[in-house]
Structure 1
Amino acid sequence: MKLKMTLKVLMLFSVCGGQMGVFNTVYAQSVVKTTERVTGKVTDETGGGLPGVSVTVKGTGLAVSSDGSGNYSIGISGKGILVFSYTGYMTKEVAVNGDSKVDVQLQVDQKVLEEIVVVGYGVQKKVTVTGSVATIKGDVLRQSPAANLSNAIAGRVPGVIVSNRSGEPGNDFSTLLIRGKGTLNDNSPLIVIDGVANRGAFERVNPDDVESITVLKDASAAIYGAQAANGVILITTKRGKTGKPVITYNGSYGLTQPTLLPKLVDAGQYATYINEVNDRLGQPHQYSDADVQKYKDGTDPLNFPNTDWYDAVLKDLSPQYRHAISLSGGTEKIDHFISGEYLNQDGIFHKSATKYKQYNLRSNVSSQVSDNLKLSLNVSGRIEDRRYSNYSSGSIFAEVLSAYPTLPAYYPNGLPGPGLAGGRNPVLMASGATGYNKVKDYSLLSDASFNLKLPYITKGLYLSGLAAFDFRFRTGKKLYDNWDAYRYDKASGEYINLKNTEGPINLNEEFRNYQLQTYNLKLGYERTFGAHQLTAFVAFEQSENYDEGINAYRTGFLSSKIDQIFIGGNKDKDNGSVASQSARRNFFGRVTYSYKERYLAEVILRHDGSFNFPKGKQWGTFPGLSLGWRISEEDFFKQKVPFMNQLKLKASWGKLGNDKIDPYQNLQQYILDGGFYFGPDGEKQQGLRAGVAPNPGITWEVANNANIGIESTFLNGDLSFNADYFISKRNHILIARNASVPSSTGLTGKLPAENIGKVDNKGFELELMYRHAINKDFSYQLGGNYTFTKNKVVFMDEAANVPEWQKIQGHAMDSWLVYQSAGIYKTQAEIDNSVHLAGTKPGDIRYQDINGDQKITSDDRVRIFESPTPGSVFALTAGFQYKGFGLDILLQGQGKARQLILPQQGNAITPPVWLFEDRWTVNNPEGKYPSSFDRNDAINNRYSDFWLRSAAFLRLKNVELSYTFPKSTLSRLKLQHLRVFVNGSNLLVFSKIKDYDPELSAVTGTKYYDPKLNAVTGSYYPQVRIMNAGVNISL
């Protein structure tokens, strides 16, 4: 092996000197003493010489490559077997029985040359694709145990940024960005499932149903016009293959747990910390020294409890299991793929009310009615059953982080403790004792299509069409119940029930109905004229969306035993409804041309009409152009660079749109006011008030995207390298002028959005992969990819008096607006000799006076142009296969990201151990963190760079170890396939943020800081690691 690699490296340098063929021969002779020399020529099916063909002596490390004319010369001892291999051709073995000359003709490997890539509204040969298009096979996705398909994409595709902020069952999806952020509005890509756009919830597709996922990243997405500015993701599901029916079962059982959670202080530490807070406020101690000692001793759990709220609320491990079965097969006339899936996920809480169940059914059937007519019918159904506490996971974690460790989860007699306020004991909240929130989503997706060849008109002409009808329904029911929680009265020795402090029982129900209809008709032409290949089509498509729903609310229930709306009281009740519709109509086409699959060109044109814009602005035209040159197909290149099997240069430009905006912005809208109780009967009276002013001139957001790149393979296809550089210039972004208009006008929040925003985005992608088969039993692969993106706001509305250091224009759109710190004050003299906030004491954070006005004000905040959304992502893959054993590893990471770790923000009260142990005190003046403070502290609790941490990380994203049983075993078991595996996800993470997952959305529960809004918002549920085992069986 070492000899073979040495030969390849030396051959690489040799060709640069123009003497590849001679060098190979001389070097091979110098390494191995031979008794015979075999020479010959390797040709293709036309008799032309093939340069760079690998010629090896089977079972040895001896290898040479054919020269520019296909000639080779190799030494061999006695009898042996020569192995000839070349990318795009079938490997051939030839026995040498004393022959001195062996000429070989290699046959084209059609599977390689005709590898098909799904693109918008069609397929193309991979070698002729000129756009920036990436494909993931379904088998690769299934190496991840993640229950959510979106989480399995992370690290698999260069240019795709995947961020998983939550592990909550049923809500554990990732946000996807293609080549970063390019707009001030919605940056999510368009999702297309089996040729139909906007079907929703692709992350809930059964992974076993997925044949491939294709990502369109440049002008190739222009075929989707007004919806393509953020890129396009195409999901293609499986179809039956000709052959006898095959029944396949995939089952797995896994355990989940949070990736990282900070350790909270115990009761003794908490009492000490709170006493220090009181000292700084000039207030008496809340806990005496004797109290602190009793909390530490734990000898009196009734009067001096010591509760670890994480331990009280969270389980060590939570189960997750999945069963999937499919039936696949077909004949020359009809094929079918039928599948079903059941998924069950449990929450991480004790007696968890958080549960998610999913049921998937699919039937894909195609019939070749005649030589010219093919019909297809796809139907899929899904039920998503989510069950939670009536309190969100964020609210539960907020209580976990707020509840004092000096409060009991349960008293020694088994009664539940009081929680921080209102009986909100997080143990009860998490278990559903306080109520429930049940949400069920039903989906039925169906599409029928035909493809009719028209050879009687002209060869290569065809007509195809599709009609899709999608229905989604949601039912929701949320009950706020009364529950028992107790506060122990030390004076009387009684347990006081806090049952009614949260108010009367109330119930909210909702029903939502969503429909999508899509119709498509396409006339296409595909012909080959000698060395010329031409494909073209024109198409029409129309889609219509309908969305409506109702909700009802009542309170005043006497009991929750009958949880029906009509049981509630008549005084406090409400109801509401929602309805909307939208539509699109599109005309589009594409022409592709290639000459000898060497010179490539593609032209796209789409004319879109959208319901979201006013008359006169509803239509937009979106062209795209891409060119490619497979320079490796040139004769001069084959002769000069024989070790490079493929080199394709490509470039593209496209104009794409984004109509992901709120509808009806061109119309005056009115808001139905909540109403007031007045009048002699005391009934609620409602009225209308004007909403945001209309803008009759709104139009498309437009992106001009350009891309240049290369695709290459070396060393007989073992090594591949791809690179792309891209630029996107986005204009006509819809934003309102709320910042530049003084609030004194009373117009803030009432001005319409205008097409005034501009954003530039650029970056590059790299992908490297090495695959090598040592022999039929052992092969391995190593690879990696890297993506860098950088956006800049060219124009957005900003107030005229914004300091230069706070402006976003000219900088990245994502940023933190924070005070700039300069360490911690250690002495009163340091405070007296500096600009500081009123009330500052030794141990407080020191802030810088940026504008020099001798005050610390909001004008001293600065923008730090990094955010939780990374500016770069990367992945490393490795694996091997040996006699049925397989190991696959995926490392995934990100850079240029920052996260705010402010442990006392929002509702948090109880500090984490890391803050307690390294806080500033008189006895620890070198403490890393401020002196003891709580959430009401106006100095240390500010958003500042003191609390910003690099969110760069390297994560062991996926590992799978598998064993596939050999045919001899399968024949005895009467099986076609048997594979067992263990895998895991999010197993390890390496980051400067040691106590929190670097992809987290919040550190303190319900709320977290949103840098875009410069506000506290959002919810929280920790990311989870998954350890999983399963089996694949085919009958």
Structure 2
Amino acid sequence: FNGDYKINDYITSESGIQYARAKWRDQSLQNGETNYWARMLSAPPTLRETNENGEWILGRDASDGNPAFNIDKYKRDNQSDKFTLNQAFRADIMKGLYVRLSAILMYDESFLEAFNKDFRTGIMSYTNPNTGWNRTRNSSAQFDRTIRQTYNAIANYESKYLDKHNINAMVGGEFYDAFNKGLSAAGSLAPTDDFQDLGLTKNNTEQQTRSTDSWHSNERIFSGFGRVNYNYDEKYLLTLTVRRDGYSRLLGDNRYGTFPAFSLGWLMHKEGFMKPTENWLSYLKLRGSWGKNGNVGGIGIYELQGSYGSQTAYNGAIGFLQTGLANPTLLWEKSNTIEVGTDMGFLDNRIYASLSFYNRITDDKIASVILPTSSGISSIRTNNGSMRNRGVELETTIKAVQKKDMKWEIGMNASWIKNTVLKLPFNGNENNRQGGQQIYDPKSKKLIWVGGYQEGQEWGEVFGFVSEGIIRTDEDLAKYNKIDLAAGQAWYGASAGKRVASQKLMNERGLTVGSGWISTRKGDM
């Protein structure tokens, strides 16, 4: 339900209520849907699903066999309920000026329950009644609730001066709060298929199958923002924006970040000197912009506060250890982007083209750095230097057919992108390299480090051996099958790696181990 109500000449109420309920059944495939569908694509067309009596056939096993065979062995009761309530009031203060207050409440609750009866997993045995069966009778239940609240307050002013000066200004604030809590329990080895009560699962001194868990989390974002749009005679455009965000996932004064931006535009086709082109050029805009954005994506709600975890019970006692380090110095990841471009429309905008160049520099890049095993912590987040992302983008749309009963548009786009590491924290390595691998460079005839992150180089590059060809004949095979018996056997169709050769071939060509060549009998490296 959505509705508006005009309280008086100045105040309007806007209300909305939405409710949604969903029920579903999980897939019960043992190795997941990805594995199942990948295997089924290679299944022969003669694969049988039922026997001569019309009864389901399992097939090889429960992982790759017929999922319909065990479908009644998996009991699932999954349900989610989502309720959203939004309320806003708009007050028209004076001509061109209004204030709008709004609030949104989102209630999200789910209950998930699962129980597996005894089910077939493979071929049965006449001597062992448990062979080919899964009799663990796993049972679980989970309840989860999230309440989200968002409050906004904005003031907007719009006016026109001297017929050609148009201005629109907005200032506002936003508060977001999300609270989540839930609990779960699981167990197995119930005595019967008839009941899925968790209280029937086994939990004695010999077999403790039960487990419980609960969780609570709360996060908040507080923001202030402003925007000014100005245009002169609807030809020269200017936009200024700024926002300041405070995010509870960061700590202390580092929670707050300020992110300004501006853009300029010129609707060149409206100029008098462009009138001779109006028959074929219907739209031409030149534009440029700069903006700073913030990012803290991927950081856990309490990750930077550090964490402790429990260990498996030993001799009846449970131990605790530190599983995450406190990290109060982590900063917002900040991206500064400059973009210039042009938008063009031809033949009454039946042909549209857009060309843009952008240069984005990201400072205080957030990344996980792997720690030594001796630390007891696998990794920690850090502001890992600066990166550059620049590129050119071209987009074209052609309205090939525009009729009352038929429309046909053709879209094309192309882009060129280059990513470069600008700065990394000092670590003593050349280019402050992080990760990577060492390979032989035939140009410099030296071992060099590639991959990983290195200052002045691209990231995400892939390196591999250069192939000289395919082993096709007995003669080719003999050249690569002479020396090292421990290296394995080379066969027809194997790739002859450029840095790998038989001793015979190395002697013929004057190749040495010192120059990066390896003597082996294996042709595919």
2:97 to 461, 468, 493: 461
Instruction: Give the conservation status (yes or no) of the 8 Å contact 1:835–1:854.
Output: no
Instruction: Give the conservation status (yes or no) of the 8 Å contact 2:451–2:462.
Output: no
2:491 to 838, 842, 847: 842
Q: 1:786 is matched by which residue type in structure 2?
A: N
Residue 769 in 1 paired to residue 397 in 2?
yes
Matched residues in 1 for 2:498 and 2:110: separation? Answer: 52
Deviation at 1:766, TM superposition (A): 3.0
Question: What is the 5 A alignment of 1:751-766?
Answer: 751-766=379-394
1:782 to 409, 422, 426: 409
Partner of 2:325: 693
Instruction: Give the conservation status (yes or no) of the 8 Å contact 1:650–1:708.
Output: yes
Question: What is the 5 A alignment of 1:634-645?
Answer: 634-639=271-276, 641-645=278-282
Q: After superposition, what is the alpha-carbon deviation per residue over 1:443-480, rounded to whole angstroms, capped at 9, x for unaligned?
A: 2222211221111xxx3221111111111122222333
Assess, with a 3 A threshold, how the Cα gap between structure 1 residues 496 and 567 changes in structure 2: closer, same or farther.
closer
Q: 1:760 is matched by which residue type in structure 2?
A: R
Matched residues in 2 for 1:429 and 1:586: separation? Answer: 52
Deviation at 1:440, TM superposition (A): 2.9
Matched residues in 2 for 1:791 and 1:473: separation? Answer: 44
Q: 1:754 is matched by which residue type in structure 2?
A: T
Q: 1:548 is matched by which residue type in structure 2?
A: K
- The structure with the largest strand share of the pair is 2
Query: Alignment RMSD, CA only?
Result: 3.5
Residue 428 in 1 paired to residue 67 in 2?
yes
Question: What is the 5 A alignment of 1:307-318?
Answer: none
Matched residues in 2 for 1:671 and 1:939: separation? Answer: 49
Q: 1:769 is matched by which residue type in structure 2?
A: T
Relative contact order, higher structure (CA 8 A, sep 6+): 1
Matched residues in 2 for 1:431 and 1:758: separation? Answer: 54
Assess, with a 3 A threshold, how the Cα gap between structure 1 residues 561 and 760 changes in structure 2: closer, same or farther.
farther
Q: After superposition, what is the alpha-carbon deviation per residue over 1:656-710, rounded to whole angstroms, capped at 9, x for unaligned?
A: 011222233332311122x22524xxxxx43311012222200101111122222
Matched residues in 1 for 2:354 and 2:57: separation? Answer: 60
Question: What is the 5 A alignment of 1:881-960?
Answer: none
Partner of 2:157: 525
Instruction: Give the conservation status (yes or no) of the 8 Å contact 2:13–2:87.
Output: yes
Q: 2:381 is matched by which residue type in structure 1?
A: A
Partner of 1:360: none
Residue 446 in 1 paired to residue 85 in 2?
yes
Matched residues in 2 for 1:836 and 1:818: separation? Answer: 25
SS in 1 for 2:348: helix
SS in 1 for 2:25: strand
Deviation at 1:635, TM superposition (A): 1.1
Q: 1:387 is matched by which residue type in structure 2?
A: R
TM-score (norm 1): 0.42
TM-score (norm 2): 0.80
Matched residues in 2 for 1:389 and 1:773: separation? Answer: 45
Residue 556 in 1 paired to residue 192 in 2?
no
Partner of 1:190: none
Residue 369 in 1 paired to residue 7 in 2?
yes
SS in 2 for 1:636: helix
Matched residues in 2 for 1:688 and 1:404: separation? Answer: 52
Q: 1:521 is matched by which residue type in structure 2?
A: A
Matched residues in 1 for 2:240 and 2:76: separation? Answer: 51
Q: 1:464 is matched by which residue type in structure 2?
A: R
Residue 726 in 1 paired to residue 361 in 2?
no
Deviation at 1:416, TM superposition (A): 5.9
Deviation at 1:398, TM superposition (A): 6.1
Partner of 1:806: 451
SS in 2 for 1:566: helix
Assess, with a 3 A threshold, how the Cα gap between structure 1 residues 466 and 442 changes in structure 2: closer, same or farther.
same
Assess, with a 3 A threshold, how the Cα gap between structure 1 residues 806 and 434 changes in structure 2: closer, same or farther.
farther
SS in 2 for 1:632: helix
Q: 1:849 is matched by which residue type in structure 2?
A: R
Instruction: Give the conservation status (yes or no) of the 8 Å contact 1:416–1:484.
Output: no
Q: After superposition, what is the alpha-carbon deviation per residue over 1:713-760, rounded to whole angstroms, capped at 9, x for unaligned?
A: 23234333233222222221222332xx6x4x6237444211014332
Residue 792 in 1 paired to residue 419 in 2?
yes
Residue 396 in 1 paired to residue 31 in 2?
no
SS in 2 for 1:737: strand
Matched residues in 1 for 2:193 and 2:119: separation? Answer: 11
Assess, with a 3 A threshold, how the Cα gap between structure 1 residues 789 and 509 changes in structure 2: closer, same or farther.
farther
Partner of 1:667: 305
SS in 1 for 2:152: strand
SS in 2 for 1:550: strand
SS in 2 for 1:526: strand
Assess, with a 3 A threshold, how the Cα gap between structure 1 residues 481 and 843 changes in structure 2: closer, same or farther.
farther
Instruction: Give the conservation status (yes or no) of the 8 Å contact 1:759–1:791.
Output: no
Deviation at 1:434, TM superposition (A): 4.7
SS in 1 for 2:112: strand
Partner of 2:478: 829
Q: Provide the identity percentage.
A: 21
Matched residues in 2 for 1:676 and 1:819: separation? Answer: 49
Residue 504 in 1 paired to residue 504 in 2?
no
Instruction: Give the conservation status (yes or no) of the 8 Å contact 1:545–1:582.
Output: yes
Deviation at 1:539, TM superposition (A): 0.6
Partner of 1:852: 516
Partner of 2:178: 545
Instruction: Give the conservation status (yes or no) of the 8 Å contact 1:399–1:420.
Output: no
Matched residues in 2 for 1:414 and 1:777: separation? Answer: 54
Question: What is the 5 A alignment of 1:302-381?
Answer: 363-381=1-19
2:23 to 351, 362, 385: 385
SS in 2 for 1:693: strand
Q: After superposition, what is the alpha-carbon deviation per residue over 1:398-433, rounded to whole angstroms, capped at 9, x for unaligned?
A: 664799999976565667666546x54520367624
Q: 1:470 is matched by which residue type in structure 2?
A: M
Instruction: Give the conservation status (yes or no) of the 8 Å contact 1:767–1:786.
Output: yes
Instruction: Give the conservation status (yes or no) of the 8 Å contact 1:518–1:541.
Output: yes
Instruction: Give the conservation status (yes or no) of the 8 Å contact 1:415–1:485.
Output: no
Assess, with a 3 A threshold, how the Cα gap between structure 1 residues 541 and 574 changes in structure 2: closer, same or farther.
same
Matched residues in 2 for 1:404 and 1:488: separation? Answer: 24
Matched residues in 1 for 2:247 and 2:80: separation? Answer: 28
Question: What is the 5 A alignment of 1:34-433?
Answer: 363-391=1-29, 392-397=32-37, 400=40, 419-420=59-60, 424=63, 426-428=65-67, 432-433=71-72
Q: 2:151 is matched by which residue type in structure 1?
A: Y
Q: 2:266 is matched by which residue type in structure 1?
A: W
Matched residues in 2 for 1:603 and 1:484: separation? Answer: 66
Matched residues in 2 for 1:402 and 1:749: separation? Answer: 42
Partner of 2:511: none
Instruction: Give the conservation status (yes or no) of the 8 Å contact 1:451–1:464.
Output: yes
Assess, with a 3 A threshold, how the Cα gap between structure 1 residues 484 and 448 changes in structure 2: closer, same or farther.
same
2:231 to 577, 594, 597: 594
Partner of 1:534: 167
Deviation at 1:825, TM superposition (A): 3.6
Matched residues in 1 for 2:140 and 2:51: separation? Answer: 33
Q: After superposition, what is the alpha-carbon deviation per residue over 1:773-824, rounded to whole angstroms, capped at 9, x for unaligned?
A: 88x7566443313142525251566238644243454565446576665555
Assess, with a 3 A threshold, how the Cα gap between structure 1 residues 393 and 772 changes in structure 2: closer, same or farther.
closer
